[in-house]
Every structure is written in C-alpha cells, then in structure tokens.
A and B are shown apart, each in its own frame.
Chain A
Amino acid sequence: MRLIEELGAWFEARLQLATPIRETMEHQVPRQSASWAYVFGSAALTVFGLQLVTGILLALLYVPSAGEAWNSLQILNHQVALGWFIRALHGWGSNFMVAIVLIHMVQVFLLGAYKFPRELTWCVGVLLLLLTLGMAFTGQVLRFDQDAYWGLGIGASISSRIPVLGPWIVSLLLGGPIIAGATLSRFFALHVFVIPGSLIAFVGLHLLLVLKLGINEWPMPGRIVRRATYVKEYHELVKKDGVPFVPGAIAKDLFFSGFILLAIAVCAVHFGPFGPSGQPDPTIIQTAPRPDYFFLWLYAVLSLLPPSMETPTLLVGPVIALGLLLALPFISGEGEKSWKRRPIAVLTILLVAVSLGTFTHLAGNAPWSPVMDAGSGEPIPETYLKARTALERQGALVFQAKQCHNCHALGGAGGERGPELDRVAVQLTQDQLIRQVIQGGGNMPAYGKNLSPSETTALVAFLQTLHPARLIPARDASRAMESETGQ
C-alpha cells in the first residue's frame, strides 16, 4: 500500500496532473443540467472510443489492396475466431455513432445550448458531424464490395459536376483514371489516419470548450440570454444551484453509455456484420447498388429531383446547409433558449426529421428503380389471363417478354417506375394506348422500333382487358358514334 502511494507521489512530483484532474472532475454544473437529456454527447464519445478500438483490431487483418480487401473481409467473417463479431461491432458502432451525433445535435439545438457564449462549441460540433459522416462514407468504401465500387462511381459522378474543377476533383478522389487500387488506398488513408486524427483533435477542442464555458443550464421559458449579462448570470446560477460533475452528473452519462455499448453488442450478435456483398468486380453487372442506411435519403433525392434541378441542388444545397448551420449561433445568439418559446426551431426539426424519414423510407423499396428481372421473375396474376382470347394472352406474353413488367406493376408486383396498369383500360382508349406504346413519352421510352405491328396489336388488346369488372373501358366518343350510326 505504501509502495503504491510512494509511486503515485513520484509520478505526481513529475507530472503535476492531480490538481487539474480533480478540478475538472469537480467542476460545478447546473443541477438541472445533470439530466437524461444531456447524455448524448458523452455517449458519442464512448462510441467513438469503441470505434477506435475495434478499428485498430480490424486493421490487424484487413488488407487495403483492391485485389485483396474483399478476401480479407471474408477471412475475417469466416475464418478468424470472432472476426465477424469485431466487424459487426465496428459496423453497428458506426450506425449508432451517426445516430447519436445527430440526436446530440438536435438536443443542443432545442435546448438553445448553441447560443452565446457557446458559438464556437457549436461550430466545432458541426465540423465533428461532417467528420463523422466522412468516416461513415469512407468506411463503406473500405468494405470494398460491389456497393462500395459503384458507390465510388456515384461519388465521382456527383463530384464531376462541380464547375471547372470537377474532372480534377474526380481524379484526386479516385487517385487515377479509374476506380482501382489507388482509390482504396487513399480512402484507407482517409479513414484510418486523416479523419480519425482530425476527430481526436476536434473532439479535444470541443470538450475543452465545454469545460471552459460550462455545461448549458436547463432552459427556462422567459430566461433570456443577453451577451452583456449572461456569463455573470451563469456563474451565479452555478454557485447557487450547482453540483460537482463527479459524482453529481456523471452517473447518468455512465449508465447511458453502458446501455449504448450493450445495445451495439446486442445488434452485432443478433444481426451480424454488414456484408461484404458481391466482389468488387466491375464486370459483374448484375447488381443494384444501394448506399448504406445514412445515405439512403440522398439516394432518394437524386432519383426524385427533375434532371435540370439535380446539378444545382447537389452543388448549392450542401453549401447552403453548411452555411446555415455555421451561421446559426451568430444569427440567434441571444434570446429564448427554451424550445417551448421557439416554435420555428421545433418546426424546423420536425420538418427535417419528417423529410429525411420519408426519403429514407422511400429509398427502402426504391420505386424509381426498374425491377430488373420482373419480366422473367414476376408472373402476371392469373385472374388477368382467365377467359381471355388468344390474342389477349399473346399480348400478355409480349408484356412479359418486352420487360414492360420491369417498370409497370400488375396486381401489386413488378416495377413502380411507371404507373401501375391494373386499370389502364379505364384511363386510356385503344388509340391512346397504341400511341403511348409506340411513341412513349411522359418518361416512357418509345417502343415503336422494337414491337412488330402484330405484337403491338396483341399488347394493346391485353392492356384493354385491364379494368375492374364494374368499370367500362375508356373509348373514343367519335368512334362510339360511328359504330352506333353504322348499326
């Protein structure tokens, strides 16, 4: 016992850290801020620690070479004892980290913690969010499978649209003319050295700012932030109604961090590691690349924007969003902190959350993508073929053979790129159907060159049978009169 004390004294005489550490642990925080709402920042830090540890463990076996990366992941998944578990921890840790960082940001925004004098803390936080998303994207690339390969192609295609500098940026991004070994190596350097290094530095700065400026007090409606008086008021509040960080506030942080770690471990055991999907061999083109969960909303936006709006949105959108985030604490640095008195802030959060949620949900089944094998894989519902003429059934065959089913659903199956055709006969007359098939239009390709007249006749005959029994098919009024007068 005495030996330990002496050793401690020996180190303390040289390091002289005991006092600053004690001061940091005992620094006073507003009693009401020792709340469950304030646990997300520390949880993000904990998950970051987990990512550092599991990342280093993976680097022991991962081979950052375009020819070998995919194989080394297979070895991790299947041959190394518990390699799959470390991969799963790292993958789920990444998902949790992005989610917790976003929740932390929402919490800071709604509780007004970004206001004077904590503007710089917020701006560093925005940078940390960008770095976290950068880790998520570069990590997805290191999984070097088909999704990673084509995801890089998408990233390159987006970057190439930057005026003037585009092609040069693509070359810098890919490290050469094509997606290959140099691309993986530079994303490895980013994911393992550059971004984590920056993250560690800026997390340190973020924490230093939190310590220097004090943890935000719990917002009370009517307690207004003024630049002239805030710092004095805060110190009075902490003196009057403060608790030391240890043990006053840290207990909730500890419990929540432990809970998050446990949740990540449970997800890792239950769901297992992410991929890798198919080999990164560009000659295997039977693939439908999908981004990871946190970029699905972007995938949806890129599909739904009109083509002419796409490039401006891609290039200007991020700049505006970033500008707004960085300007926020300077625009509204004073005033009410409580979300109960800030309806626009609450509405903004709701709007962004609902938009991102909707886009992510849409991207889940991607109605804008053709179902590439519906023509051969999805049969036409039986009821649409019963009691039909030979010509109409021939038309159903044409419908399948010409891949109409890839974009048009029948009976709820098939693509959703174009409208579903279960009641198309009610909406379009025979002539309109023929015109639409042959000339296309309204975002449908023209099939005139690829359908013989007899195929067109059969297909249109089939389409004309597609209507609910109680509704009569659409017909041309002038034709109807003609046939009536003819009788």
Chain B
Amino acid sequence: MRFSLTDIAKRNVLAVQEYSLLAWNSIANIFSSPRYVADTIQQADIIGVGSLPIVVLTGFFLGAVLALQSANSLARFGGLSFTGQLVSLSMVREIGPVLTGLMVAGRSATGMASELGSMQVTEQIDAMRALGTDPSKKLITPRVISTVIMLMMLTVISDLVSMAGGGVVAVFMLRLDGNQYWSTAWQSLGKGDIVMGLLKPFVFGFIISTIGCYYGISARGGTQGVGRATTQAMVSASVVMVISDLFITQLLLNFFPFS
C-alpha cells in the first residue's frame, strides 16, 4: 500500500487530534459520573507500589554515583563540603523527576499500551462500549489520575533515597561528616526547588499515562500491532517527557531563578 505525502500529513494531524481528545476527555471525565474509584485505587497500586522497587534501587545508586562524581570535581576547588547541596539540588530539581518518569514510562506506559492494545485487537473495548460503558471513563481516567498522583509520590521517595545514597558515599567513602552532608543537602533546598520537583512529575505523569493509553487504544493489527504500540508508547512518552522538561524548566526559572 502506497501513501502520498498528503496522506501521511493527514494521518499525523488525525493522530494529534485523537490524542488531544483522549487527553482532554481523561480530565473532563473527572467532573462527571460515573467515577471509578476502585479502578483508580487498583491502578495506583499497580503503578505506585509496583514501581517502588525499581525507583528506590535506581534512585539510591544514582544518588551515590552523583555524590562520587561531583566530589571528584568539587575537591579540586576545595568544595567537597558542598557535595550534599549538589546532590540534593540536582536530584530534586532535575534528575529525580526525569529518572522516576523514565522508570515509570518504561514500566507503566508500556503496560498500559499492551493491556489496552490487547483489549482493542480482541474487540474487548468495543464490547465494553456495547455494554454501555465508556472506556474513556472506565479505563483511561483511572490510569491518568493514578499515574499523576503516584509519580509525584515516587519522585519524592526517589529524591529522598538518592540523597541517602549520596550520604552513604559521602560518609563511608569520602569521609565527610554525615550531619554536615544532610544539613547542606536540606538547607540548600528552596521553595522553587520543591515546586519544580513536584510540578514536573505532575506533568510527566499526565504525559506518560495519556501516551500509553493512546497507543494502546489505537493499536491495530493483532499481536504484532500490540507489540508495536508498546514500543511506540515507551519511545514517545520518554521523548515527549524530556522535551517538555526543557520548557517546564525554562518557565519555572522565570518564577524561581537560582539564588
């Protein structure tokens, strides 16, 4: 089957339109009944509790590596005592949200795409519509709400664990004073850092879940199509998330510049 440039352009515009509608409906559904609270809690358990081990592990070791790398550079300028500050600011403002987002995208966006994709290609989504249930309310909104909430919580946990990882390196390998590490790490965090650290996972959670659901619900072509949708969901969610990170950071720097 051959497609002209016009066909490709039309398809892409249609995809953007469908994604935008899905994203809009996922929010609008919150304000109309029926609301699927049990499904939302179940998804929060799958996304939040299920992602906890990988978020804790990657957060801890990344914090440790960050402390080790930054100490090496800081030592040249006699600023080894700033290790805690550097780890906490880097993690809370940037690495924590992005790292956690990538972990959850890898685990949950793919999970959503494959689950909804399998339902789509086996007519289960049509069956749900035929039974008088709105799949957007039953399947998408609970996943979006739970991903947004759980990603914020996971990011906070990742930030704390990574600071602990940095602390372990600082105390046992760099021979820094533990109290000094924690006090510089804690006191260096300002209101802007906290806002940035919590707003990013809010936006990232929305991007990850809506893109995962979109690729799932748009899956065509049997098991191969589901596999393709799963890969595309992971790639698109990660790329869009990192691009949006640039714009959020630039926007928030206007309100909360580095002091």
Asked if A pairs with B, the answer is no
